[in-house]
C-alpha cells in the first residue's frame, strides 16, 4: 500500500506515512482542564504508527468550551499541560497537531462564564435554550484568541494546529445559512458567511509567521453538508474549499462518518464527496479523507477517492497499532475486543458505551 510510504507537505515537513489519527473527543481532562495521565497514555499508545496525531479539540476562549473533561488552551497557564501532550505524541515518532476551536451554540452552558452561550446569530443552543449573536468586537476577540492559542501550541512544542471548522461548531455556524442570519459583513451571502473562517485562518497564519517557521503545519477541518433547508450545501462548500485551498494552509481535512458517502445537497452528479472536493482542490494542498476505515480493504478503497492522506479514528480506538500491523502484514481486528486493554481513558470508554453503534463491538 503506497500510503505506508513517507509524505511531504508543501512546506517541506515529511510524515513517515500517509495515515493520520483523527481528532476524537476524550472527555478525560483533569478537573482544571489540564491533560490527564489517562489521556497522555492514550495519545502515546497511538503515536507509534501514524504519521501525525490530531488531538481532541481544545477551546481557544473561555466561552467556547463544548464538552466536560475538555483540555483547555485559552491562557498561558495551560502551556505546560499542552507540552505534555506534544511530548507524548512525539515519543512514538508522530507529528503532533493541536485541534483548536470554539463550540459556539454547542457550548455547555454550565461550563462557560455566566452561562452565556454565543453563536453567529440569535439561535437555539444545544441544550434547547438560547444562544445570542456575537458582537463585531467579540468576533474580533475570538479571531485573536485563535491566534493566541496557536502561539501557545508553538511554545508547547506542537508541530501544527488544525482549525476546527466542522461538526456544527462556531466556524461552521458562521458559514451556515441555517445558523447565520446576520445582515452585516459576517452574514448574508456565501462570501460574507465565509469571512469569519477565513479571518481565523489569516490570523493563525499571521501568528505562525511571527512565532514559528514555515514548517509549522496549519490545517482546516470542515463538514461538507447540512440537512437543514437553509444549511450548508455541497455547492457552498465547494466555494469555501476553493478559497481555503488558496489561503496558505498546509492541508484540508473533511469530517465524514463514512468515506463512501455521496453528495446529497448538490447541483452536480451525486458522486463521492471526497472525489468531488479533491477535484476542486486540484492539488493545491493535500486533502485528508476519513470515515469508517477499519480494514486494509477499507483503506485500499478509500485511497481510490484520491485523498493524499487518510485519517483513522474509531479504528485506532479498536486497534491502536493498526498501521504497524498493516505494515507487517498482520491481521487487524475491526470490532472492539472489550476483554483487552486498548489504553482508552475511562470517560471516553463510558461515552462509547452510551453511543451504541458508534464504535463496532462496544457493548
Q: Distances from the Cα of 217 to the Cαs of 178, 359, 361, in angstroms? A: 31, 29, 35
* 8 A C-beta contact, residue 60 and residue 71: no
- Judge residue 144's burial from the number of C-beta atoms within 10 Å of its C-beta, 0-12 exposed, 13-18 middle, 19 or more buried: middle
Reported as a single tens digit per residue, the pLDDT across 20-57 is: 999 999 999 999 999 999 999 999 999 999 999 999 99
The second-level CATH assignment, the architecture, of 2-354 is Alpha-Beta Barrel (3.20)
Tens of pLDDT along the chain (363 residues)? 579 999 999 999 999 999 999 999 999 999 999 999 999 999 999 999 999 999 999 999 999 999 999 999 999 999 999 999 999 999 999 999 999 999 999 999 999 999 999 999 999 999 999 999 999 999 999 999 999 999 999 999 999 999 999 999 999 999 999 999 999 999 999 999 999 999 999 999 999 999 999 999 999 999 999 999 999 999 999 999 999 999 999 999 999 999 999 999 999 988 999 999 999 999 999 999 999 999 999 999 999 999 999 999 999 999 999 999 999 999 999 999 988 889 999 999 999 999 988 999 998
The rounded Cα 103 to chain-centroid distance in angstroms is: 12
Angstrom distance (rounded) from CA 287 to CA 299 = 15
Q: Which of 99, 102, 98 is nearest to 145 (CA)?
A: 102
Report which secondary-structure segment, H or E, holds 41.
helix 37-45
- Catalytic residues, which ones? 169
E strand segments, the chain: 7-8, 14-15, 19-21, 52-54, 58-59, 95-101, 118-119, 123-124, 130-133, 160-165, 217-222, 251-254, 287-290, 309-312
The total of other beta-carbon atoms located within 10 Å of residue 62's CB is 16
* Cell numbers standing for residue 80: 505546560
Residues 294, 327 contacting (CB under 8 angstroms): no
pLDDT of residue 1: 58
Long-range contacts of 8-13 (CB under 8 A, 24+ apart): 9/217, 9/250, 9/251, 9/286, 10/250, 10/285, 10/286, 11/214, 11/215, 11/216, 11/217, 11/250, 12/214, 12/215, 13/95, 13/159, 13/215, 13/217, 13/250
Cβ atoms 51, 20 nearer than 8 A: yes
Contact 268, 230 (CB under 8 A): no
**pLDDT for the residue numbered 134:** 98
Residue 276's contacts (CB-CB under 8 Å, 6 or more residues apart) are 234, 238, 263, 266, 268
**pLDDT at site 270:** 87
Which cell numbers hold the place of 176?
451556515
- Each domain of the chain, given as residue ranges in start order, spans 2-354
Amino acid at each position: 500500500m503506497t500510503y505506508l510510504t513517507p509524505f511531504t507537505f508543501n512546506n517541506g515537513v515529511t510524515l513517515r506515512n500517509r495515515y493520520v489519527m483523527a481528532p476524537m473527543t476524550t472527555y478525560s481532562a483533569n478537573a482544571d482542564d489540564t491533560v490527564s495521565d489517562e489521556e497522555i497514555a492514550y495519545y502515546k499508545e497511538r503515536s507509534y504508527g501514524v504519521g501525525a496525531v490530531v488531538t481532541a479539540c481544545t477551546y481557544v476562549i473561555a466561552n467556547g468550551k463544548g464538552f466536560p473533561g475538555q483540555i483547555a488552551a485559552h491562557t498561558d497557564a495551560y502551556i505546560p499541560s499542552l507540552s505534555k501532550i506534544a511530548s507524548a505524541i512525539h515519543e512514538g515518532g508522530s507529528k503532533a497537531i493541536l485541534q483548536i476551536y470554539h463550540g459556539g451554540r454547542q457550548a455547555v452552558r454550565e461550563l462557560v462564564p455566566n452561562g452565556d452561550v454565543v453563536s453567529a446569530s440569535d439561535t437555539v443552543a444545544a441544550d434547547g435554550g438560547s444562544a445570542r449573536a456575537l458582537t463585531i468586537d467579540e468576533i474580533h476577540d475570538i479571531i485573536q484568541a485563535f491566534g493566541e492559542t496557536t502561539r501557545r501550541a508553538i511554545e508547547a512544542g506542537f508541530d501544527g494546529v488544525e482549525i476546527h471548522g466542522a461538526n456544527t461548531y462556531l466556524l461552521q455556524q458562521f458559514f451556515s445559512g441555517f445558523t447565520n442570519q446576520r445582515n452585516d459583513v459576517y452574514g448574508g451571502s456565501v462570501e460574507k458567511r465565509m469571512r469569519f473562517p477565513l479571518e481565523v485562518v489569516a490570523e493563525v497564519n499571521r501568528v505562525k509567521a511571527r512565532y514559528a517557521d514555515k514548517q509549522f503545519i496549519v490545517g482546516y477541518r470542515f463538514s461538507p453538508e447540512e440537512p437543514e433547508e437553509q444549511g450548508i450545501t455541497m455547492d457552498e462548500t465547494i466555494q469555501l474549499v476553493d478559497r481555503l485551498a488558496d489561503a496558505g494552509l498546509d492541508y484540508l481535512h473533511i469530517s465524514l462518518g463514512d468515506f463512501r458517502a455521496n453528495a446529497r445537497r448538490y447541483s452536480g452528479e451525486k458522486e463521492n464527496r471526497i472525489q468531488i472536493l479533491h477535484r476542486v482542490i486540484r492539488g493545491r494542498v493535500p486533502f485528508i479523507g476519513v470515515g469508517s476505515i477499519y480494514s486494509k480493504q477499507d483503506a485500499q478503497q478509500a485511497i481510490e477517492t484520491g485523498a493524499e492522506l487518510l485519517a483513522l479514528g474509531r479504528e485506532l480506538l479498536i486497534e491502536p497499532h493498526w498501521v504497524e500491523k498493516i505494515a507487517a502484514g498482520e491481521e487487524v481486528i475491526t470490532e472492539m475486543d472489550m476483554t483487552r486493554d486498548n489504553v482508552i481513558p475511562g470517560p471516553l470508554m463510558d461515552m462509547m458505551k452510551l453511543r451504541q453503534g458508534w464504535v463496532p463491538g462496544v457493548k
